[in-house]
Amino acid sequence: MGDDEESSDDDSVRPPRLRRVIIEGINTMYEDRYEQPRNTLPRGPSYLYHVLTALKAGREDHFREALRVSPQTFDKLVARLENDPIFFNHGNQPQLSVEQQLAVALYRFGHDGNGASIQSVANWAGLGKGTVHLCTRRVMAAVLRPSFMKEAVRLPTPEEKEWAKRWVHDHSCKSWRNGWCFVDGTLVPLDKQPTWYGPSYFDRKCNYSLNIQVINLPNLQIIDFSYGHTGSTHDSVAWNGTKVAQEHATVFEEGEWIWADSAYPIASWVTAPYKKPARDLPDNEVFNNHVSMLRIRSEHAIGFLKGRFHSLKHLRVKICNEAGHKIATYWVAACIGIHAFAMRCEEEERGGDDPDSDNPDPFIAEGLSSDSGSSDQRIAPQHGESRDRLTDGKQLREMLKEKLFRAKERRRRRRVARHAELL
């Protein structure tokens, strides 16, 4: 009888104890999260630390080669972004410093090919692949804040516009000075064919890509852009997403216009070269050549952007759903925002010198080594164009051509007069 009572008491005690053991085991499992060790891939020494210390202080050229901005611009970027809430959390594990996270993102933006893979960047930074991904996403989120983008990519001040007009005057004629900005489109090739509406990304160059529109000043400063368009989108359609196209009545004063290529519909505020067959006429060919001498600054601006951030030459972002498309377009927008911010900082470092000088930035040559711009040979679709708008555009172009030849004739007469005086 006593043994039976003792056995009954033991049975009544065991279940709660067993439950506690099970609960403790489950809690331990959730704390560890992974039952197998994760240190199967040893990490090498971090080159990131060497870049942020030794190269930043002693070899600015190598620092700029690695992170695509100067040390001074890098410090200004850190100061501008470090208070963003994306870099603060309340967890037990603190984030890396903003300086380190920005360096990781800039390194990824500035490289393409095998060197831009997450594993290669992780090896360079001495971090895990997941950390590299998080750093990039946080920097992109901070850069794309409206407060930063409105500061980096903005319309010119009156002084900047006047400088642009003087540049156009010096490189063409006085009557053309009111055409103070340029627009062009470029394609950002994708590393892999998107599985989300893949055919819409197929472009005229037989690649899968994104279409971006860039509006710049003669000093290559980007003042407006549009993004989010697939490679099959025509430039004349994609550029409608820019602020300049949507608000041209307030952006341009009376008699001002923007220079475009033949892919864009002309208007009273948009002028472009002649297309076939009109461009084969001798006078029109001369006009087109002079327009090209100005519009080359569009090619240089896009070349500068892609030369600084090589990832835009071959974007390694998988697009398998809407979220992937957004990440790819945000990547492009972040690169443009940082590039525009860096250009303003570097102009201050140079003392306001024109980048079109005897020593152009090497990033421009790197970008122009590939096909960075679009071709003037494409024919823009004519459907949907307003007849009045087209008529106004033709009148503007004819007026500009007439004034160009008048200016050329006056220059010829002055040369003849000076030659006669010398004789």
Q: Tell me the DSSP string of 140-208.
A: HHHHTSHHHHHHHS-PPPHHHHHHHHHHHHHHS-GGGTTEEEEEEEEEEEBSS--SSSGGGGB-TTSSB
DSSP classification of residue 114: G
Model confidence pLDDT, tens digit, residues 361-384? 889 888 886 554 444 444 444 444
Contacts of 334 (CB under 8 A, 6+ apart): 109, 139, 140, 143, 144
Please state, in angstroms and rounded to a whole number, the distance separating the CA atoms of residues 138 and 115: 21
Angle at 326 between CA 324 and CA 330, to 5 degrees: 120
- CATH 1.10.472 boundaries in the chain: 47-143
Which pLDDT tens digit goes with each residue over 78-110? 999 999 999 998 777 889 999 999 999 999 999
Q: List, for the chain, all residue ranges whose pLDDT scores fall below the cut of 50.
A: 1-2, 4-9, 11, 372-384
Radius of gyration of the chain (CA): 29
Contacts of 230 (CB under 8 A, 6+ apart): 197, 200, 201, 209, 210, 211
At residue 225, the 3 state secondary structure works out as: strand
What does pTM read for this prediction?
A: 0.86
Residue 50 CA neighbour count, 13 Å, CB half: 8
Architecture of domain 47-143: Orthogonal Bundle (1.10)
Determine the pLDDT at residue 164: 97
Q: Looking at residue 378, what is its pLDDT?
A: 47
- Tell me which amino acid residue 380 is: A
Q: Which 3 state secondary structure label does DSSP give 34?
A: coil
